[in-house]
Structure 1
């Protein structure tokens, strides 16, 4: 009965069938016809004309477009889109999240939606998680796009602004998520049109986000921030790093057991928070010789002490960060295991960690521009995403981004066998069991991939494998330079690879190894030739197909020698033979050394085995000392193990236990979703303000001179109205007006009003008072324009607006940071912190706008110019 109900309510299957009927089948019907098209670029540009000039929509031309793109792939790079890839391409075009298993060819799938949407001529972005994937994707697929007459570019951090402008002006641009976000923020700090790198007319039209769950969920809690140095002493962090060594960690209060917490502070590991006890506060006040730690003048000290304790207790070296050879503290991405150079913890936490490690403390920074990935990608007219694991997070994608998940069928059935978890009492028992299993499998020659959650674990396991005399490779944040080459060969027989979280590695593990990758690296190294250059690529493809024409193609490469060609052919033959051997042994075996907080990360590790119908298997090893189990699992299970007399070498293996672990993960996912949703709610308040400022700023930067002057004239009038409303309100008796202060404020901003008779306002009809003053101010504005010349007035208006808005926005961001840090305390007064935050933020924004109008007025009338010569 349940199977029948599942079929009835399986909207995923219905959507897939609908795409097969409306897109895949019609595209297949055109396949033979497309093979006879001589000029694919000409045919594709004809579709562009139909869309841009003929009034047709992309949906009207999707079938011939996909047919041409498939044919371009076949001709240019020797890759024909599978039917399931056409389904994925259609889902991306619809603005959905496409879940595609590892090895299903997401890079090729993206070409369908990108090329189709490029017909509108407004620019499309393929967003990846790192520069390597962006470059490889652009180079590998560039030939396909150019065959269709499209331009393709790469926007990376090493480019000059004019080069980035060229990249973003292309039909399709490959770029990393962080670089794209920072380019958007930098564009909104630009002082001239020439400094803009994104398109001025349609900067954010269509994007496909690769590894979308990693970017839009895992990184959603960390906003993008452009910052400048703030004036704040940093040497105090060293003082507090030493001081907290004299504090004792305690235990929180427990209802029915302890009425009060113990020690000087307690830790909330789940929320990564620190709570000072009354005893701890008194001790700090005594040590610092201050009467009140939480008085306004000591708030900075209280904040630094809290961050020092967090750094000591909650952030571990080799897990949360590493210290490189230059003494820099580099954050490790908790989901991908990659280092994130240039990224810093906020609110003084990074400085506290630097003090703890005894390295140089970098200056604290002040926020100049910021945005979360959540709000950034919602700025696109349409965006889609693709990943191997998204269905478990569909609720979040729907709630926050309005995008549902479509699970794309695999091209070949998945043969991987996933065993139930083995649960041990202690970490040591678990690690011994992992080494034992690796020993047993390594003897057979089967390749093994061991997934760990931290550098510390990977290196601990590496030592145990060395002791067992098992050769292996280690991939973690310390060895990222060898990342692609290690992963590319992790499927060779007898290979053992230890890797921190495998999310978004971007390189498929091919059974028997990847001869194409090794050959491409060798060509680049020995002959200085890009592996994606047509001649080199054709040679590599011919070698991989064991084509007799490979020798002739190879000799077209400058400096190529017959010995190298023979070695390449031998390498490919060995790879083919090894692939057959590994398949016979059962394929790649995955060993997970602990469960991650997110089921997605576990599924990504598992997904490394069983690509494209390959055999494979996986098993996770868990202990009750693991962080997830310690914080969220049921203590009764440990008690049961004790009663049964089970020791470290005896695991529990049962679906019930695996189910309990997954339920614990689901709870953590829900909690993290709540954190991200709360972050978004707070950022939405800022987002509306940011959109207003950036929209006005863009109008100033790109708008015609007359519009800019009209804006400044309007600000001058608004400032005058505000002063009149406050000091000469028409609903009050004229004798009560404070005309002296009104005159002081207005003449300070508009010196030309010095001779204006403000006292005469009392004798005017109330309805005429404001109009009379506004006319005088307008006359002063006209006189200022004549004094400077209209051209100079326009230039000055633009300059003044940008400078004043930027300065006040920077100060507003700092004020919002301070407000956000302290708003939680309102909860103790039975007031909702979020409601209070919205109220306070709105008042602060309105005050900022009023201050901007006043300062713009003052600068316009008082700025002096010196003439050279």
Structure 2
């Protein structure tokens, strides 16, 4: 009570923080008159002035007021848009590295230009992260006009770019792109073999648009770059044919935990089916020889019992495409791991792609924590504020709207069955269509959106075919005449190409749009329609001139008329029938966009996103959710008890229960789901942090190797380390010579150093000590390697050393990732022994990493102590260095051995050169930049070639 009183008197901490920005807002406004008097050239010149001030020691905070004033003026001139005061506050919040929660339609895209410009002045690159390629392109091209006007460059990172295009984009002052592309580029960069081939130039500052979607929803799944393993497609198909033989009692499904397991009877039944199919030949299913078969059976069972077509994935162009469970968007290129995707492909009868092994991986949490400063913006972050704070150290600041929200949010209506609910929704849509009020119908999956679409068609509605030209002409025509057309559009992952167009026109009078969670995030639904979208479509192909201008004026006038129709599409509801002379109670519901939710989602935030599509910029609007006890959330969280209770209370068919308590009960259930999901993500992150610490060490060491002109010193240290380890392993400390394992040491020296040494004879020498033995081996190994460098030339060996070191590190790191993944899957069983699985995982992961370092030393040393160089003529097809196998060395960088013949690493003794150094006639054609075959060590053009 005292807290509520204090909040009323002094405002919340959020209110106080927002007020704290007001002095700087006033200062920016005070500069507006001065800045507006500047010419375009003088305004642009301020950018160089700011950069010079930073070079002279000024801080970014010192430049905030003049820089924001400059961007506001540039936006007015280039886009015709002026930042509101609340947008200036949002820009300051982003600059401080926090999350700005701004309602839909408050202009977050424009807000971002303020901190982006200010931070780009430092010259270290600013990344703006969006949820899809369309928004990355749109926002970059739209806001890029401001940056270009002010003399800054911008680039776009989307799917399908080559390395050169990516490097140019990242070299720009500002780079727009999707979260997936930024993350994958980071992983790809750490698989390159030359610094010059890397794309990203650091992680200075990033602004994440739709930050809740990217950092919360998509954070469950790590980014993985994988490579193909052996093809087992026949096995997946064979097991999939067996699986339908199982009956319901053979397995148990836990929808809350998303798990499925065979029962005891199911184990016996599946064994029988596998034997009949000839797949199980030896022993029982759980014998060690059948461990692979068990894995495939479990994945096939998951594919059939837990994953639903058109909800979790869709089948398109002979492939299974994952659907994001939160946004409803397709995720092309993303595949489930551990054979699950192959199991789904077998289930759906499409081509089964080879299973992949992880080459590199990172979670979104750990990728975005690489940034020195991170900020985000969204309309819905408050419910996840704790997670943002704990995981990313990001504070959520709620920015007030420019105009108060006028949307009315009605209480939920709860029905007993799904058909009853849909029947009520259809009646609601018919009434809205009659008064020409546009409606956005939100669904939780493609499957549900298409079910409702089918029911609407059965009720006499007609689906708009966007593949036809002028698809919306009949809708526009009906709006002009004021008659209902009962037409609707479906927006889900199947129609994502038309997403922006469908959403842009969802505010036309009488429009009904059925959408999954994607709901066109990033595109405003403007009442009356979207002028820009209609102009771009209806004037396509028209030349600039009076005719085109007249068409634009006509469109603008019509959209304005349509907006008036929508604003006036209010509804008066009778709350209670009249009794005698007593007048009936009525309630007026406003016009504007009407949001209908067909079910509650697991997260309150997703529901708030849907509601937020209406009531933008002070527009009127209305929202209502229609629920049934058969909805996933209600069914999983105890609808059986509720159904019995409602029947006892006498709830009739087609009758709904409406009460604020229902809303609170549903929100409480959602809160529990959110907390459980947070715990899952937090637990995943704890384990990934262990791998991330190791990843940082490996990637940083790898970059150091790439930047170094030579890694000879590292190679020497590794060789000496191998000698030390080998001797220590075979000769115990303070042991007598007769206790030494001299024969084992000789074998180890032959294996790791490629040296045949008389270790047994040395061990018999009078008074010899392990230190002396160690020194002899080290000296002989060093001398042998020095001779190898002289034979193969220092330049060539310098290159080969770096490539062998990098390739061996990559190979061992990939094996390490697989081992850690397997360890993580089974470490939970340690809990039954009263041991903390996380601590056990940390300890074993450290031991595995220590083992990796030891094996790296041994393998690099063993390879380099055997490598020799063969001088051949370049192949006629123009192929370069070390072709012909996945383990061959990659080509050297451009210009490293320009014009020289091919060099190939071999695992044998020195390959005899076919050229005789003393006989120029045996040399054949020699490249101008090739080392002269005479053995002088000079390039051919500077030796015998100068006479040619």
Q: TM-score, normalised by structure 1?
A: 0.91
Mapped contact 1:214–1:504 kept (Cα < 8 A):
no
SS in 2 for 1:526: coil
Q: Are 2:883 and 1:868 equivalent residues in the alignment?
A: no
SS in 2 for 1:566: helix
Deviation at 1:198, TM superposition (A): 1.4
| Residues paired across the two proteins, number | 816
Q: Are 2:786 and 1:782 equivalent residues in the alignment?
A: yes
- Separation of aligned partners in 2, 1:761 and 1:292: 58
Q: Counterparts in 2 of 1:266-665, with a 5 A limit?
A: 266-289=252-275, 290-324=282-316, 326-469=317-460, 470-502=486-518, 505-523=521-539, 525-526=540-541, 559-560=543-544, 562-585=546-569, 586-633=591-638, 635-665=640-670
Mapped contact 1:633–1:664 kept (Cα < 8 A):
no
Residue in 2 that maps onto 1:551: none
Residue in 2 that maps onto 1:239: 238
Q: Are 2:861 and 1:857 equivalent residues in the alignment?
A: yes
SS in 1 for 2:525: coil
Deviation at 1:829, TM superposition (A): 4.5
SS in 1 for 2:568: helix
Q: Which consecutive unaligned segments of at least 5 residues does structure 2 have?
A: 276-281, 461-485, 570-590, 874-948
Deviation at 1:640, TM superposition (A): 2.2
- Separation of aligned partners in 2, 1:758 and 1:633: 79
Q: Counterparts in 2 of 1:749-768, with a 5 A limit?
A: 749-752=752-755, 754=757, 758-759=762-763, 763-765=767-769
- Separation of aligned partners in 1, 2:673 and 2:736: 64
SS in 2 for 1:198: coil
Which moves more between the two structures, 460-469 or 62-71? 460-469
Which moves more between the two structures, 651-660 or 732-741? 732-741
- Separation of aligned partners in 2, 1:126 and 1:759: 66
CA RMSD of aligned residues (A): 1.9
Residue in 2 that maps onto 1:815: 819
Deviation at 1:561, TM superposition (A): 5.2
- Separation of aligned partners in 2, 1:680 and 1:133: 29
Deviation at 1:737, TM superposition (A): 1.9
- Separation of aligned partners in 1, 2:419 and 2:835: 48
Residue in 1 that maps onto 2:946: none
Which moves more between the two structures, 151-160 or 392-401? 151-160
Deviation at 1:638, TM superposition (A): 2.1
Residues 845 and 504 (structure 1), Cα distance of their counterparts in 2 relative to 1, 3 Å cut: farther
- Separation of aligned partners in 1, 2:399 and 2:327: 24
SS in 2 for 1:30: helix
- Separation of aligned partners in 2, 1:273 and 1:286: 23
Residue in 2 that maps onto 1:115: 117
Residues 768 and 27 (structure 1), Cα distance of their counterparts in 2 relative to 1, 3 Å cut: farther
Deviation at 1:241, TM superposition (A): 1.6
Residues 503 and 55 (structure 1), Cα distance of their counterparts in 2 relative to 1, 3 Å cut: farther
Deviation at 1:761, TM superposition (A): 8.0
Residue in 2 that maps onto 1:542: none
- Separation of aligned partners in 2, 1:634 and 1:826: 36
SS in 2 for 1:619: strand
Mapped contact 1:749–1:862 kept (Cα < 8 A):
no
Mapped contact 1:415–1:615 kept (Cα < 8 A):
yes
Deviation at 1:567, TM superposition (A): 2.3
Q: Greater CA radius of gyration, 1 or 2?
A: 2
- Separation of aligned partners in 1, 2:519 and 2:765: 71
- Separation of aligned partners in 1, 2:506 and 2:260: 42
Q: Are 2:727 and 1:712 equivalent residues in the alignment?
A: no
Residues 728 and 482 (structure 1), Cα distance of their counterparts in 2 relative to 1, 3 Å cut: same
Q: Are 2:135 and 1:138 equivalent residues in the alignment?
A: no
Deviation at 1:138, TM superposition (A): 0.7
- Separation of aligned partners in 2, 1:484 and 1:741: 70
Larger helix percent: 1
Decide which of 730, 738, 741 is 1:738's aligned counterpart: 741
- After superposition, the C-alpha distances for 1:26-74 in whole angstroms (9 at most, x for unaligned) are 21121112112331221122111111x2112111211111111111111
- Separation of aligned partners in 2, 1:627 and 1:415: 31
SS in 2 for 1:423: strand
- Separation of aligned partners in 1, 2:517 and 2:781: 65
- Separation of aligned partners in 2, 1:466 and 1:852: 65
Residues 733 and 521 (structure 1), Cα distance of their counterparts in 2 relative to 1, 3 Å cut: farther
Q: Are 2:91 and 1:89 equivalent residues in the alignment?
A: yes
- Separation of aligned partners in 2, 1:795 and 1:283: 59
Deviation at 1:633, TM superposition (A): 4.2
SS in 2 for 1:219: helix
Mapped contact 2:731–2:770 kept (Cα < 8 A):
no
Decide which of 238, 241, 251 is 1:265's aligned counterpart: 251
- After superposition, the C-alpha distances for 1:361-394 in whole angstroms (9 at most, x for unaligned) are 1111111111111111011111111111001001
Residue in 1 that maps onto 2:893: none
Deviation at 1:865, TM superposition (A): 0.7
- Separation of aligned partners in 1, 2:498 and 2:117: 32
Which moves more between the two structures, 830-839 or 842-851? 830-839
Residue in 1 that maps onto 2:906: none
Q: Which consecutive unaligned segments of at least 5 residues does structure 1 have?
A: 250-262, 528-558
Mapped contact 2:746–2:758 kept (Cα < 8 A):
no
Mapped contact 2:102–2:379 kept (Cα < 8 A):
yes
SS in 1 for 2:865: helix
